Structure 1
Amino acid sequence: MRARLLLAATTLFVTACSQPTLEESEFMHRLSALCGKAFEGRIVSEDLQDDPWRAQRIVMHVRSCTKNEVRIPLHVGDDRSRIWVIHREGDRLALHHEHRHEDGSPDALTGYGGVRDDRFSGSRLNFPADEATKALFDASGIPQSKDNVWAVEVRPSHSLFAYELERPGRFFRVEFDTAKPVDPPPAPWGAN
């Protein structure tokens, strides 16, 4: 009897730990409401190294959504190499970045990101670089990027989707007006 109670308690604990928080559920609900739509964005941060992006049209497309994963290709001008992937990893949501070449092959710098930290709400999640990402950045010769914290915001009441990157000495933020959908762009490079 005691063994059964212990097994039942353990099962309930593991199940409770693997369930999304209310805030994560709200975040995914807000994100899924944008599924199938595309939006034009603009860089609102002031770092001069982002000037080449400012000169391009920036469009994100919430292309595919499931209960546990949302894929958002990002187009910068004619460059269709980037996809933001928000997905469940263990008991938390994670953000990873996919980069592909025009022929669909993976870039050497792909798959980086992290799991959400404890500073989150139903409208904003923060994703510090995980250990695999830190190792990738070291191997790629960009150790300063190991301090990266990415954030995604979805605020329907403000018609806002935002993506952010922050680390010491670096801040990048692009905002998209979700009240003004645009025609979906072509599929990202390497998409099925």
Structure 2
Amino acid sequence: MVVSLVVGALWAMLPAYVPNNAAVLAGGGRPIDAGRTLGNRRLLGAGKTWRGTVVGTLTGTLLALALNAVNDPLSAVVGVELARFPLRVGFSLAFGAMAGDVGASFLKRRTGRERGAAFPGVDQLDFVVGALALTLLVAPAWFAATFTPPRLVVVVVATPLLHVLTNVGAYLLGLKTEPW
């Protein structure tokens, strides 16, 4: 029961978990804020780029479609009914994750944090809030059927742990300049 709950929750979030990692790998390009400031601080910072946002969104959306392709055989192997992702859901999870991260960058700048500075809680859940909120707006019936309250609890508890592990791994591989 617990294993199927965790597997189902993490599966449903995969299209939201991958985009920010893909954006880091794609990196560079024109910043979304084009260098603009609000007061004396950048709106978002140089780390939020159009290329990263597009690559992250496409990667998450394509991952959702790939997960659909392996859904039936994998569901049989793990013994859990895994979510299927309509195209609009794959896109909303992926783009919502990217938008949540951009929103957190805006909050960081407004609270005086520089690029790469830790913002505990926000750093770990910004993309989750963005992905879930956009998906709820785009596909409310799918959202309600997939993200039951127990699954939402798993997502909120497991995501910070996964976030820390993946960021430390990216830092150790030299893909990030800070381990958070």
Larger RCO: Structure 1 or Structure 2 (Cα < 8 Å, ≥ 6 residues apart)?
2
Task: Give the TM-score normalised by structure 2.
Answer: 0.31
Task: Give the TM-score normalised by structure 1.
Answer: 0.30
Q: Of the two, which has the highest radius of gyration? A: 1
**Could you say which structure has the higher strand fraction?**
1
